[in-house]
Amino acid sequence: MIRATLAIDDAVGEHRRALLDPFGKPFRLEIERWSERGKRARLDEVWWGRVRARMPGNRGWFVDVGLEDEGVVEPTRASAVTEGAMIPVRVKAEAWADKGAVLSLADMAANVPRPDQPGKHSAPANDPFLRGVEVVATIKDQPARKQVEAAIEEAGERIVAIPGGGDLAIESTRGLTAIDVDSGNRATVNDPVAFALDLNLAAAEEAARQIGLRGIGGLVAIDFVTMTQRRDHRSVVEGFRKSLAGWLGRASEVLDLSTLGVCEAAIARRQRPVRDALSVAPAEREGLDALRGIESAGWSARGARIRARVSVEASKWLEADYIGWKEALAARIGARWTIETAERPPGRPEVWSA
């Protein structure tokens, strides 16, 4: 079990959390916008769903849980499911991109009344974000915001450094995530066999952390630096397998290295990837960033007037106040902001104290 610090950035408009290891490195991220609360099924929640239709090829059932996107009950226990029935389901994997939530049949006492309409029944007994973790400290407000923003920036980097030298190139496609190991500026040693082993062990550890941080799931292929010793192959694969289980809080299927030095892993997708959590209409993204900037400036410049400049589209989104941000922000820093409009496409807002 990993001893970790929980950083909570509860900004107006968006709730973010990060887990930091004992050295301050982030290894998990969770992001939820206020605009999507109650509109998506979260991991391990129990919902009541109406069975709508069988999937093509008898691969399970489509289930309406009362949200915009239908979920899917996999065929493991689907023989007991009938079209039109109201059934209890547990969220096995959250929806992301164009994929609906993956559901499993939930155990429910016979005396629990069936509702007339689909909807949420209960929250998980234990927070799945903290699985396999012992939280030894919790930070909030400005210190947490700084840590979470740094974690999000790292999660978006294509190239990341390997401790001790070298780097990983991480490329995600629809079908898989490819990770390439490069020795880069790592100090060379006289023994090339030891050099390759040490580099790959460090790369395996860093790759596992990055997979947890980014919420990567599905097929992952890691191209390690060539090693000539079979025992070194086994050491690297076992190291990656153990590191992955530690950062994710669960085991994954990790295959032995191929003859080309590639390690393949099948990682069950549970919570949505970070890049999908951040993906939103540009006007809302800019508006949320502006709100976070105004709140942060309000903390730093107490009593000062805060000004922000945003695009026309972001200004319209803010003015509509779909999420109730005006009242919430005023309660936190006082109603002391002014928002200006700029004729430009949505992008990064400008925020400053007057």
Per-residue pLDDT of the chain (354 residues; tens, 9 = 90+): 899 999 999 999 999 999 999 999 999 999 999 999 999 999 999 999 999 998 887 778 999 999 998 999 987 655 568 889 999 999 999 998 888 899 999 988 889 998 999 999 999 999 999 999 999 999 999 999 999 999 999 999 999 999 999 999 999 988 899 999 999 988 887 899 999 999 999 999 999 999 999 999 999 999 999 999 999 999 999 999 999 999 999 999 999 999 888 999 999 989 999 999 999 999 999 999 999 999 999 999 988 999 999 999 999 999 999 999 999 999 999 999 999 999 999 999 999 998
pLDDT of residue 287: 98
Class of domain 280-353: alpha beta
pLDDT of residue 243: 97
Class of domain 156-275: alpha beta
Contacts of 48 (CB under 8 A, 6+ apart): 65, 66, 86, 87, 88, 89, 114, 115, 117, 118, 119, 120, 121
pLDDT of residue 44: 96
pLDDT of residue 78: 55
58/53 Cα distance (integer angstroms): 10
Main-chain phi, psi angles of 284, to 5 degrees: -70, -40
Structure tokens at 175: 């079908």
Q: Where are the domains of the chain?
A: 1-36+135-154, 46-122, 156-275, 280-353
Q: What CATH number labels 46-122?
A: 2.40.50.140
